[in-house]
Amino acid sequence: MLSKIRSKINRSIVVKSTITNIVLFGLIFLALGCGIYQAFSSIMFEGATLVLEDHSRVISDFVKEGYSDIIPSYAENSAIVVTMSPASGAFASSEVVIDGVEIIYRFTVQSGTESYDIVITKTLAKEWKAIRTMLIFLIGASVILVAFILFITTITTRRTVKPIHEMINTINNGGLDVRLDVANSQNELKLLAETFNELLDRIWKVYKNQEQFVSDASHELRTPLLVIQGYSDLMERWGKNDESVQAEAVASIKREAVYMNKLVERLLFLANADQNRLKIDFKEVDLPELLDSIIHDSILIDDTHTYKLETENLHIRADASLIKQLIRILLDNSAKYSIVGGKINVRAYQKDKYIFIEVEDNGPGVSEENLAHIFERFYKADNSRTRKKGGTGLGLSIARWIVEEHGGKIRASNTSNGLLITILFPRIS
């Protein structure tokens, strides 16, 4: 995969930049050559026209003064060809005509009663040769300059791409736990390296979380399976003839099956949550009515604790089924660790921009070093809050996910009574 990325970088950066430079500089030198050609051609013809105009004035003076016989020698010395004939009316005024490499200047001269058509022809072969030589030199110099620029560009581009190749090689050879060295990077490459390191940090975190999750899930499932297997062997050996052994084995197997079912359900919930496959149906929820129904159900199920609800008239925008699941998780957690006959308090009130929901149990609480970790998956806190109480270690993780998906916050703290879970939901504006 990384080798493909490297080859794509070579093709996309080196090759494309080379082609771009060839086209760009080619167009620049083509335009420059055309401009120089036009400029020199214009200068050459304007200069030749001025020279022929000077010759025309001299020859006109010769004709008017009657010295027409010296015109041939003048023309020979001036490297021009002059023809003179009686005026035919073909041209009324002077004109300049370009014919191939020759420039022709035609005009009419009045000498006494006679008029003459005079044609001066000058060849520009030497000038054209000089321009062609200059163009050949310019083309050669352009080719050399383009080649030099391409050479410099290729070296510069490869130097620019080299750190990226080194990044790819570092990742390819070192694995996800290796980070790129940003100390020697500069400007955009430093930013790229830092961004790449941040990306690797996120990938590494997800990978480690997944690895830990699989390990913990395997461990949590292994224990009840071993218990079920052990009691199955016990019942197979002694349960046929001993009803007490059989009853104990059946009860234990049933207890472990309930635990596994609960564990698998919560694992599936978290797996779907991680894959963003859980749809949240936000609606306006009457919070006192919802809490009252949950407390009522808890009283019916659990008669070993006292439940007390204090709430204001509040409404939140939430998924009612998820909020019900959230509160039940917290109440179930409180019931597990509260003393028999203890009180579980649920309070809901509004303060500033938030709606607070508090669930306080009557248990031993959690040590301060473990308090910040109780919302992590499979996290085991104090010995008083272990699997012996029937917990999966996933309930508070699910609670945190539900709260965060509703844009809220959840925190835990110890009070004089026990553990206090506080939830903050944003108010409906």
In this prediction, residue 1 carries a pLDDT of 46
Q: What is the pLDDT of residues 220-240, one digit of tens each?
A: 677 678 888 888 888 887 767
Query: Please, is 334 exposed, middle or buried when counting C-beta atoms within 10 Å of its C-beta (0-12, 13-18, 19+)?
Result: buried
Which stretch of 4-18, 384-398, 402-416 has the lowest confidence by average pLDDT? Answer: 4-18
Structural domain 283-426, CATH architecture? 2-Layer Sandwich (3.30)
In this prediction, residue 385 carries a pLDDT of 45
The CATH number, out of the four listed (1.10.1740.10, 1.10.287.130, 3.40.50.150, 2.60.40.1120), of the domain defined by the range 187-274? 1.10.287.130
Domain ranges of the chain: 2-148, 187-274, 283-426
Q: What is the pLDDT of residues 2-55, one digit of tens each?
A: 455 455 555 555 566 667 766 777 777 777 777 777 777 777 777 778 888 888
Given a contact cutoff of 8 angstroms between Cβ atoms, the answer to whether 259 and 392 are in contact is: yes
C-alpha distance across the termini of the chain, in Å? 49
Pairwise CA distance, residues 377 & 375, whole Å: 7
Which stretch of 38-47, 112-121, 288-297, 349-358 has the lowest confidence by average pLDDT? Answer: 38-47
Q: Is 262 helix (H, G, I), strand (E, B) or coil?
A: helix
Q: What is the pLDDT of residues 55-109, one digit of tens each?
A: 888 888 888 887 778 888 887 888 888 888 887 776 656 778 777 778 888 888 8
Query: Please, is 309 exposed, middle or buried when counting C-beta atoms within 10 Å of its C-beta (0-12, 13-18, 19+)?
Result: middle
Q: Is 406 helix (H, G, I), strand (E, B) or coil?
A: coil
Which phi-psi region, left, alpha or beta, contains residue 344 (left: φ > 0; alpha: ψ -120 to 50)?
beta
Rg of the chain, C-alpha, whole Å: 49
Pairwise CA distance, residues 174 & 177, whole Å: 7
Given a contact cutoff of 8 angstroms between Cβ atoms, the answer to whether 164 and 192 are in contact is: yes
Which stretch of 17-26, 176-185, 390-399 has the lowest confidence by average pLDDT? Answer: 176-185
